A and B are shown apart, each in its own frame.
Chain A
Amino acid sequence: MSAGYLLKRLLLAIPTLFGVLVVVFVLLRVVPGDPVTMMVGLTASEEDIARLRELYGFDKPIFTQFLIYLGDVLQGDLGVSITRKQEVLGLILGRLPVTLELSLFAMAVALLGGMMLGVLAVYRPGRGGELVADGFSGLGLAIPDFLWALMFILLFGVLIPLLPISGQIDPRLGFEPASGFYLFESLLIGEFAAFQSVLSHMVLPAVALAIPLAAIIARILKSSLQEVMTQDYILLARARGFSRLRIVLREALQNALIPTVTLSGVQFTFLVGGTVLIERIFSYPGLGNMAIEAVINRDIPLIQGIVLTFAVMFIALNLIIDSTYVLLNPRVRHG
């Protein structure tokens, strides 16, 4: 992949981000809900409301507000949260690792589960393996992630209390990671009690997020493998007497992976979007949970900051996916 291609993609990201900024900024000011009227007390007069509106800069024309905001964003200043009274950037950077860690773990679970099912379906075609794989992927696609989450809470939180159902770590543990990446840091520095706690808290939300994606991966991989399995070099491998498992895993899988990886990457962005609801259900303290709080409280600077962060994340992810695709498939060349 050429540096020119990367540069072109990066330059294209600028108007996308500007568009996101404009849309979010305008939408937040036209949707119902004035943050100032939500915060005023019983005895507040019209003057008090006007004073608070001025204090937070909501008294200025919308265009002026946008220009001020744009100037601040370009300087790396996302403003101060109305409800939390802290720098928005600091708040986001504090939560981003939590969401990233959960998303990556869920992605790993989805890839592992989806690939296992995809391989199983092709390894045992027309038999139990394929039925199990098809049945699972059908269920996984039919039931959305938040419903899996609610079922897991009932099943593993109440009926068979196997795993914790809220939070990110046992509050009694004193572990405070410097990086914000609880799982990775606890493992790296050998805090195994914290690692076990974080891992056990992460399992249910991650699996709930992963199931729909795993189902998609299983389906795509299955059809890719089926296609590859009809090719001549596979027939040759069979003729040489290789076992079916070896043929599937060592001969067919690599070629079948290209469409799977591409699609998984695209779906990963949806998975990250899904964290908003899943984090809320499991009281997981990530960016998604904070986004819902911000919307409820009409914390406009915080909502803008979070949406911008998600937009940057999605653009970066798409860039990585494209790069991976090019790396995996050397036949693809750009301009």
Chain B
Amino acid sequence: MPIHRRQFLMHAGAAGVAGASLNSLLWSRQARAAIGDTLTIAYHVAPPSWDPTVGPSSVNPGLQSIYKSVFDQYIEQNPDLSFGPGILTEWGWNEDRTKVSMTVRDGVKWHDGKALTAEDVVWNLKRVADPETGNVVQVVWASLDNLQVDGNRITADVKQYVPDLFKWMAFLTGYLLPPQYYEEVGAEGFEKKPIGSGPYMVDRYEPNAFLRLKRNPDYWGGEPAFENVIFKFVTDPSSRVAEIESGGSDLTLEVPFEEFDRLKAKDGLVGVATPVSDVALIFFNDTGPMEDLNVRKALVHAVNKKAIVDRLLRGYGVPLDTLEAPEYDAYDPDIKVPYDPELAKTLLAESGYSKDNPVRFKIQATRGYRPKDYEIVQAVVGMWRKVGVEAEIEVYEIAKHFELRAQDKLDPAAFYVWGNASGDPNNSTGFAMFGPSPHSVWDTEDLDGMLAPVMFGEKDDQKRMAGWNKALRYIAENAYVLPLLQYVQPVVHRAELGFTPYTANFVLPHKITVKG
């Protein structure tokens, strides 16, 4: 039968469309079938480095879930920020806190099959204590000296008392690397083929594209539910929404709250919103109008935090009156700084300010660095305006914030989000408010004198927390900082998955199960 050109073109076109449709079906089916033995996570940040103990990556909270999938920590952290055994099964101080002892778990293997020993733990502790390594909290690890091994037991002298030393062992940079392998391949070799002792082994890493993990059959903490885990690095929030919605990924996080509400209402998807260890605040710098107690107190009383949470964050946030979130060790629900715009007006009037003669200063804010950061500052400035404060917003990048903060050159007010997954007040209120710290903005002798003993001196935990309680109350009464709210992390996942949310912001694949 002769075929005419027009017929041929029509048939070819139809075949093309059919081929494309078939391809699409195959692609969708592949994506849906993946949940069997492979968990796919659309993740917001990719690890630039595979060494979780040094460099900027080591202090990036977003990367900790990936590091925790491959590497073990000395001590594990539970979903509620409490601590549990990790590679160390026991740890503690002696009576006068001049010595520490630790017991290393038996039977743990590195991903290359070699045994993890107490000597390996000591090698790791000594490595990060060495200033040449570039560990960013080297002073914490350098507080130990004369590390000795006796079987599975490690002892050490305390050179300088760091009250939250063991919390750091479950926190940033507190990871274990395999000494023999690391020395064999060197730092660059380790970046190319990292190994640890964690629940998953790195199968393939394509920087900025994906990370494929394979289950570690020898993992001491029990067999993870999924044989394979794929982290797809999808940095754009709208693309992450599309990933979960199209079935291309089984779980995603850090999506806009508007999208979160829409996605969780869809069949087959579940949304989990958990308050996490990220606290939004406005630093006050002890300069210009902020030196006036009435002004500072007016600024904190004029802000309706609940309205900010409800209207800007769709209810996904927890208003705070101190820098301590409810899950933190030093949280005190009795410390209250109520929203009282009339009181704010009265306080400003006492210092000669009013709506006709407002107090003026600049406030710095990032835009898009954290959810609704700029919008929150806009709302705060609007509330201040109503009581007689004219604050001019200056937008800058987060890098500039770090630079200015280290130089103590921030404007009288500056927005920031402070993360503290350790839960210890030293790492939130402490380093945020203690003058000599390069991270602090407020710098006055009265507060430093109150913070120094509880941060570095007091060895009795109860007395230390009592001291913290006093300091937190003092900070609130003197309005040295404006705590705003605790952020909530939105996670969306397939309904078939059992997901464990962590206050520390972790999304841990080895803790994710398949329901039924």
Name which residue of chain A comes closest to B143, CB basis: A43
Task: Please state if B187 and A85 are interface contacts (CB–CB under 8 Å).
Answer: yes
Contacts of B208 on A, CB cut-off 8 Å? 283, 285, 289-290, 293
* B425: min CB distance to chain A, Å: 12
Using A32-B396, A83-B55, A293-B208 as known contacts, say yes or no to A44 and B48 having CB atoms under 8 A apart: no
Q: For the complex, what is the distance from the CA of A39 to the CA of B172, rounded to whole Å?
A: 12
Segment among A10-18, A158-166, A208-216, A250-258 that sits at the interface with chain B:
A158-166
Does B99 belong to the interface (CB within 8 Å)?
Answer: no
Does A200 belong to the interface (CB within 8 Å)?
Answer: yes
Contacts of B444 on A, CB cut-off 8 Å? none
Segment among B290-298, B350-358, B401-409 that sits at the interface with chain A:
B401-409
Q: For the complex, what is the distance from the CA of A34 to the CA of B405, rounded to whole Å?
A: 11
* Chain B residues numbered 114-165 whose CB sits less than 8 Å from any CB in chain A: 131, 134-140
Using A44-B136, A45-B139, A86-B191 as known contacts, say yes or no to A280 and B172 having CB atoms under 8 A apart: no
Contacts of B180 on A, CB cut-off 8 Å? none
* A101: min CB distance to chain B, Å: 13
Q: For the complex, what is the distance from the CA of A51 to the CA of B138, rounded to whole Å?
A: 11
A interface SS class: loop
Using A83-B48, A176-B204 as known contacts, say yes or no to A161 and B27 having CB atoms under 8 A apart: yes
Does B206 belong to the interface (CB within 8 Å)?
Answer: yes
Task: Please state if A283 and B233 are interface contacts (CB–CB under 8 Å).
Answer: yes
Task: Please state if A85 and B55 are interface contacts (CB–CB under 8 Å).
Answer: yes
Contacts of B233 on A, CB cut-off 8 Å? 283
Contacts of A83 on B, CB cut-off 8 Å? 48-49, 55-57
* A43: min CB distance to chain B, Å: 5
Task: Please state if A43 and B140 are interface contacts (CB–CB under 8 Å).
Answer: yes
Does A40 belong to the interface (CB within 8 Å)?
Answer: yes
Name the contact of A82 in the complex, choosing from B56, B239, B396, B403 (C-beta under 8 A): B56
* Chain A residues numbered 33-66 whose CB sits less than 8 Å from any CB in chain B: 33-35, 37-46, 48-49, 51-52, 55
Name which residue of chain A comes closest to B30, CB basis: A170
Does B438 belong to the interface (CB within 8 Å)?
Answer: yes
Task: Please state if A33 and B49 are interface contacts (CB–CB under 8 Å).
Answer: no
Does A297 belong to the interface (CB within 8 Å)?
Answer: yes
Task: Please state if B48 and A38 are interface contacts (CB–CB under 8 Å).
Answer: no
Contacts of A261 on B, CB cut-off 8 Å? none
Task: Please state if B246 and A158 are interface contacts (CB–CB under 8 Å).
Answer: yes
Q: For the complex, what is the distance from the CA of A299 to the CA of B246, rounded to whole Å?
A: 34
Task: Please state if B402 and A37 are interface contacts (CB–CB under 8 Å).
Answer: yes
Task: Please state if B234 and A166 are interface contacts (CB–CB under 8 Å).
Answer: yes
Name the contact of B397 in the complex, choosing from A33, A52, A163 (C-beta under 8 A): A33
Task: Please state if B437 and A42 are interface contacts (CB–CB under 8 Å).
Answer: yes
Does B313 belong to the interface (CB within 8 Å)?
Answer: no
* A199: min CB distance to chain B, Å: 10
* A26: min CB distance to chain B, Å: 17
Contacts of A85 on B, CB cut-off 8 Å? 49, 51, 55, 187-188, 191
Contacts of A164 on B, CB cut-off 8 Å? 27, 248
Task: Please state if B173 and A41 are interface contacts (CB–CB under 8 Å).
Answer: yes
Name the contact of B236 in the complex, choosing from A46, A171, A283, A290 (C-beta under 8 A): A283
Task: Please state if A153 and B20 are interface contacts (CB–CB under 8 Å).
Answer: no
Name which residue of chain A comes closest to B242, CB basis: A157
Contacts of B38 on A, CB cut-off 8 Å? 172
Does A167 belong to the interface (CB within 8 Å)?
Answer: yes
Does B46 belong to the interface (CB within 8 Å)?
Answer: yes
Name the contact of B206 in the complex, choosing from A39, A51, A282, A285 (C-beta under 8 A): A285
- The winner among A52, A162, A166, A167 for most chain B CB atoms within 10 A is A166
Does B24 belong to the interface (CB within 8 Å)?
Answer: yes
Task: Please state if B232 and A166 are interface contacts (CB–CB under 8 Å).
Answer: yes
Task: Please state if A282 and B24 are interface contacts (CB–CB under 8 Å).
Answer: no
Contacts of A86 on B, CB cut-off 8 Å? 188, 191
Q: For the complex, what is the distance from the CA of A71 to the CA of B437, rounded to whole Å?
A: 38
- The winner among A33, A35, A154 for most chain B CB atoms within 10 A is A33
* A93: min CB distance to chain B, Å: 13
Task: Please state if B438 and A283 are interface contacts (CB–CB under 8 Å).
Answer: no
Using A32-B400, A85-B55 as known contacts, say yes or no to A41 and B137 having CB atoms under 8 A apart: yes
Q: For the complex, what is the distance from the CA of A95 to the CA of B206, rounded to whole Å?
A: 10
Name the contact of B48 in the complex, choosing from A46, A153, A297 (C-beta under 8 A): A297
Name which residue of chain B comes closest to A81, CB basis: B48
Q: For the complex, what is the distance from the CA of A94 to the CA of B247, rounded to whole Å?
A: 30
Name the contact of A165 in the complex, choosing from B57, B131, B239, B403 (C-beta under 8 A): B239
Name the contact of B210 in the complex, choosing from A35, A39, A165, A167 (C-beta under 8 A): A167
Does A298 belong to the interface (CB within 8 Å)?
Answer: yes
Which 7 A-B pairs rank lowest in CB-CB distance, beginning with the nearest? A33-B399, A32-B400, A41-B136, A285-B209, A83-B48, A39-B56, A41-B137
Chain A residues with CB under 8 Å of chain B are 32-35, 37-46, 48-49, 51-52, 55, 81-87, 91, 94-95, 150, 153-154, 157-158, 160-172, 174, 176, 196, 200, 280-285, 289-290, 292-293, 297-299
Pairs A–B under 8 Å by Cβ, sample size 22: A33-B397, A38-B402, A42-B137, A42-B427, A43-B140, A46-B438, A48-B136, A48-B139, A55-B134, A83-B48, A83-B49, A83-B57, A157-B239, A157-B248, A161-B248, A165-B239, A165-B242, A165-B248, A169-B209, A171-B230, A280-B236, A297-B56
